Amino acid sequence: MLSLKDSAVFFQAGDFPMDGGHWCFVGEITSADFFIRPRVIVSDAKSDQTGIVVMWYLDRDLRREAEKLFDQCEVGHTIFILDAAPHGFLDGTSGYRLEGLTEAKIVPASYSKLLKLEKDLRSPSTTCSNNCTGDSTKSLRKCSGCKVATYDSEVCQAEHWKNGHKMDCRAYQDLRQVLEMEDKFENPREAIAFH
């Protein structure tokens, strides 16, 4: 499993491996604008760079699929862009031009939150995630969605869902998809995409 701190995979804005291979840019969305083209402005999660433009140039037949992706474009969410090549736009801004939907993944959490969630993915809790004072001798069941959160009862699971796990569950699943792409990054000749 990859690590978000792996500088051989997750590069700063404008950087990419000199010897070829796959890489990924990670940014945090600071604004979203869909007036003419879908566009987000991001700050680099790995450095202090801000104002990086990410713009999609899509064929008309991708509009419906694109709407699902763009519904996730909220300020504070994290975007991962595979094999991100720097691009200068005609208006003088710079960033990344994307021509498909599978080269980017938007995760509904900030980068700092993802660092915490990554720790939980690697070392799941051995106690009830709802922090209850229930029976510690009961066996714990994992959340069927993220497979990280653990519960000693359905009551605890329902309460934890209402108190924030609903958002974390989706973020855990998306983060796991990114981090489990290790074998894809190791083969530079094979096409790489989020599904």
42-94 residue pLDDT tens: 999 888 889 999 999 888 888 777 777 788 789 999 999 999 888 999 999 99
69: CB partners within 8 A, 6+ apart: 101, 104, 106
Neighbours of 174 (CB within 10 A): 23
Q: Where are the domains of the chain?
A: 10-109+182-186
Which tokens in the block code for residue 185? 């990054």
Burial tier of 45 (Cβ tally within 10 Å: 0-12, 13-18, 19+)? buried
What is the reported pTM? Answer: 0.89
**The domain made up of 10-109+182-186 is a member of CATH 2.40.50.140:** yes
Q: Which residue has the higher pLDDT, 34 or 120?
A: 120
Report the C-alpha gap between 82 and 51 in whole angstroms.
19
Report the C-alpha gap between 188 and 166 in whole angstroms.
36
Q: What is the pLDDT of residue 110?
A: 96
DSSP string, 61-80: GGHHHHHHHHHT--TT-EEE
Q: What is the pLDDT of residue 136?
A: 67
- Scan for tokens 């009961």, then name that residue: 138
Beta strands in 34-125 (DSSP E): 39-44, 52-56, 78-82, 86-88, 94-98, 104-107
Burial tier of 164 (Cβ tally within 10 Å: 0-12, 13-18, 19+)? exposed
Reported as type and span, the H/E element at residue 29 is strand 24-33
148-163 residue pLDDT tens: 999 988 999 999 999 9
